[in-house]
Amino acid sequence: MCGIIGYLGKKNAADEVFCGLQRLEYRGYDSAGAAVLSADGKISVVKKQGRVDNLKPYLKDIAGATGIGHTRWATHGKPSDANAHPHVAGGIALVHNGIIENYAELKSALEACGETFLSETDSEVIAKLLSKNFKGDLICALAETVKVLKGSYALMAICEGNNSIAVAKYRSSVILGYGENEYFCASDEPALAGKCKEICVLDDGDIACITPDGIEIYNGNLQRIIREKKPNTGAEQSLDLGGYPHYMLKELHEIPVAVENTAKAFEGVSAKLKSALNGVDRIILVGCGTAYHAGLAGKRYFEQFARVPAECDTAGEFRYKNPVITERTAVFAVSQSGETADTVEAARLARGLGAKVIAVTNVLNSALTRIADVTVPVSAGPEICVAATKSYIGQITALYLCAVGFAKNGSNGNCAFADGLEAMPKLCKKTLAQVNTYSLANMCALSSGVYFLGRDIDYAVALEGSLKLKEVSYIHSEGYPAGELKHGTLALIDENAVAVALIFDETLAGKTVCAVEQVLSRGGKAAVITNVESVKKALSGRALVLETCACGKFLSPLVSAIAVQKLAYETAVILGRDPDKPRNLAKSVTVE
């Protein structure tokens, strides 16, 4: 799950590749590298451990108008200069996104033939194979090479003495870009936004050859095929921080607009969704990480508004549990990027088993949307921070609307709950301005562990609060159903632990307050984030009470999530972490 980019044209390829890598950096930032083909047909390579910016000083040393680049999220081999891409073998330089599952056996076979390796990566094996198969035609060598690869790959290669880029794709995405006398290839559409007039999405098994004369696309047998070109409408992603110190804070402030735009965009798809869900009697929601947590809220919406059985699984679990699916099942695949490997494969599996597949995603034209029957847009706008904030709230908004729409069409529906979304952008704005998480952030920063508690829909947000905090601050954290704490985890509570209870349902408030009391009586520190008046009265003076504005229970995740996201951000900043690029992570997880 790395980002790869290629450029062939008349400009300085190193600059174009660098610009693409900056846009792709959210896919990994363990190392970055570029290879450029000079006018006299020689390849020069620079690669450095760490972030894309580390490459900048070295790019002036590589001149040419054709190049490829890579930003890495390490899978095989630690982050290091040696493991950075491009990998070079013979006169060929290669970048790879994906995982080669049979690399160990391929490597052993190559070693038995006397090959030696400079890196611990699976990708260098592909470079060696390419070089071995090269008999003067890079595309033929690539077609030969991919025949023996098992796993996923998006590959770009350049070869000394040949002004072209060879591209191959299987289960990792590749987009081609057509400009004025210049061509691009990249891992995703946002990387090409504003760069070219038309784009084309490659399919699994496609091989492409980019030359100064244009782009030819072939199938695995090197027969020419046509792929549809479409206008490149992607809005150029601004890397401007807009005066904020971090993207995470900027994106938190974009939440009200994300809610508003997601609601507007839903109007455009509601009829199509209605017809797709006609006759559906079971809902399954799948996603990973934050998107899974949005699915947990969505499950409650479908159950409560439409009284339809709903389940929510992490996409990785769903894929391997032999799920029960009929043609009356609808699977909602939730993903900010639309590229998360497990979510995309879960959607593919569900579709294959006859389910209706609904993509809920922030990236139109992503792999997920190509599998889905219907795409429900999350119009949160580009999210650069690795930690999902506005996209999570956009996902919840979209799922809320889907469930309301489904309930209105069914006979058992109860839409009495489902009011008030119009007011939410304003309430989100108010929450951002008013909820004061700073004291709690200081408490968390000093703690040995933070336990987020909630019941029902508050529990779904508690899980997300915990993920967000651990992701950006590196403090141990867990999310628990408030009633479960006493069944084991209470043993971890001492004066260094902090419990954060989310209480947004008046009818359940008393029960969750009991859990807070259990923490306090064991010497733990406690805080509540709530809009329930009685909770304030019960706990003031003994627990830190963070008040938020009043709103209905089912829309409360939009408010409570802002509070926990802000808490995570402030804790990270207090601890001197970079919330935008947490260690070990990447935003788009395109490997399994």
Enumerate binding residues for ligand AGP (CB under 6 A). 288-291, 335-337, 340, 343, 386-388, 471, 587-589
Query: In the complex, what is the shortest distance from the CB of residue 342 to ligand AGP, in angstroms, rounded to a whole number?
Result: 8
Beta bridge partner(s), residue 502? 529
**In the chain, how many H helices and how many E strands?**
18, 25
Beta carbon nearer to ligand AGP, 9 or 98: 98
Give the largest CA-CA distance in the chain. 79
Question: Is 2 tagged catalytic?
Answer: yes
Query: In the complex, what is the shortest distance from the CB of residue 207 to ligand AGP, in angstroms, rounded to a whole number?
Result: 27
For residue 245 the two structure tokens come to 């110190």
Distance CA 269, CA 263 (A): 11
Residue 187: CB partners within 8 Å, gap ≥ 6? Answer: 2, 3, 4, 5, 24, 27, 97, 154, 172, 173, 174, 175, 590
Cα–Cα distances (Å) from 269 to 263, 273, 317, 376, in that order, read: 11, 6, 29, 7
DSSP symbols for 17-41: HHHHHHHHGGG--SEEEEEEE-TTS
For residue 498, what is the enclosing H or E element?
strand 497-503
Distance CA 104, CA 30 (A): 22
State how beta strands 356-361 and 329-335 pair.
parallel
Query: In the complex, what is the shortest distance from the CB of residue 589 to ligand AGP, in angstroms, rounded to a whole number?
Result: 5
Query: In the complex, what is the shortest distance from the CB of residue 386 to ligand AGP, in angstroms, rounded to a whole number?
Result: 5
Query: In the complex, what is the shortest distance from the CB of residue 461 to ligand AGP, in angstroms, rounded to a whole number?
Result: 14
Beta carbon nearer to ligand AGP, 68 or 467: 467
Distance CA 299, CA 461 (A): 13
Distance CA 462, CA 30 (A): 30
Query: In the complex, what is the shortest distance from the CB of residue 48 to ligand AGP, in angstroms, rounded to a whole number?
Result: 25
The one catalytic residue among 2, 159, 288, 385: 2
Residue identified by tokens 């299987």 is 170
For residue 477 the two structure tokens come to 């954290």
Query: In the complex, what is the shortest distance from the CB of residue 591 to ligand AGP, in angstroms, rounded to a whole number?
Result: 11
Beta carbon nearer to ligand AGP, 287 or 524: 287
Burial of residue 320 (number of CB atoms within 10 Å: 0-12, 13-18, 19+): exposed
Q: Which residue is nearest to ligand AGP (CB)?
A: 289
Phi (first) and psi of residue 380, to 5 degrees = -90, -10
Residue 324: CB partners within 8 Å, gap ≥ 6? Answer: none
Residue 142: CB partners within 8 Å, gap ≥ 6? Answer: 130, 133, 155, 157, 166, 168, 207
Query: In the complex, what is the shortest distance from the CB of residue 359 to ligand AGP, in angstroms, rounded to a whole number?
Result: 11
b/e sequence 159-182, b meaning 16+ C-beta within 10 Å: beebbbbbbbbbbbbbbbbbbeeb
Distance CA 519, CA 485 (A): 9
Beta carbon nearer to ligand AGP, 289 or 479: 289
The residues carrying an active-site annotation are 2, 587
